[in-house]
Amino acid sequence: DIVMTQSPDSLAVSLGERATINCKSSQSILYTSNNKNYLAWYQQKPRQPPKLLIYWASTRESGVPDRFTGSGSGTDFTLTISSLQAEDVAVYYCHQYYITPHTFGQGTKLEIK
Amino acid sequence: QVQMVESGGGLVNPGGSLRLSCAGSGFIFSDYYMSWIRQAPGKGLEWVSYISSSGSTIYYADSVRGRFTISRDNAKNSLHLQMNSLRADDTAVYYCARGVPAAMVDYWGQGTLVSVSS
């Protein structure tokens, strides 16, 4: 199984500041035939289901604010929130859909400092 | 709009069975693969099972293989999860999730809570 490891487990950032969450996969999730990284990021707010933010490692889902940016390739990925807003408080998960089981990172809890 | 509504959760004794259902609407159900993903109380997300758009390809997590069975009825826009031999560590909110073919899950239902306890 591909193990997804996020860092940090929790993060406190001031409003308007940058938040950075890292995700590392235990093996490459880059499919060389199409040059796509099979990596998504989800945001989960309390008592809500997860919401898709980013897919193919860097493609923003429709309607997601452009302060959310995904980057990385191969085994190392990053979700960056350029200017933290109050509504961004949530748990963020990375997720590989390269091969089953489609594993998730353990989650990163983002709070306001 | 895209909607998935789960049902069938509840309290069950260890060793018991439950059948979860998910009704999809607002999209062409047969165009998408479907997954069940669960979340134990206060914990992270755990992928449980996958079924392809036609139902011909199925995968399970090791933790549920041999106990859970996923199925779908494209004529009724419905997804099911038959859960047998339930254990305390199966306690979780179970989400029905829609998947873009050969790509990511893009929509999640609100979830249904399964509690396994005596």
**Band of residue B58 on the pLDDT scale cut at 50, 70, 90:** very high
State the Cα–Cα distance between residues B60 and B92, nearest whole angstrom: 17
**Dihedral angle over CA of B68, B74, B76, B80, nearest 10:** 10
pLDDT of A87 reads: 97
pLDDT of B51 reads: 97
Inter-chain touch A104–B106, beta carbons under 8 Å: no
pLDDT of A37 reads: 98
Inter-chain touch B109–A49, beta carbons under 8 Å: yes
The pair of three-digit structure tokens given for residue A99, joined into one six-digit string? 């091969």
pLDDT of A92 reads: 98
Per-residue pLDDT tens digits for B17-43: 999 999 999 999 999 999 999 999 999
pLDDT of A54 reads: 98
Share of chain B above pLDDT 90, in %: 97
Give how far B63 is from chain A: nearest CA, Å.
11
**B51 to chain A: closest CA residue:** A100
Strands of A8-73 (E only): list them.
10-13, 19-25, 30-31, 36-37, 39-44, 51-55, 59-60, 68-73
Q: Of the candidates B44, B104, B106, which has its C-beta nearest A106's C-beta?
A: B44
Q: How many CB atoms lie under 10 A from the CB of residue B14?
A: 12
Per-residue pLDDT tens digits for A97-111: 999 999 999 999 999
Q: Of the candidates B47, B59, B110, which has its C-beta nearest A49's C-beta?
A: B110
Mutate to test the interface with B, among A21, A39, A41, A97 (most CBs of B within 10 A): A97
Per-residue pLDDT tens digits for B89-110: 999 999 999 999 888 999 999 9
Residue A52 near chain B (CB below 8 Å): yes
Per-residue pLDDT tens digits for A7-58: 999 999 999 999 999 999 999 999 999 999 999 999 999 999 999 999 999 9
pLDDT of B60 reads: 97
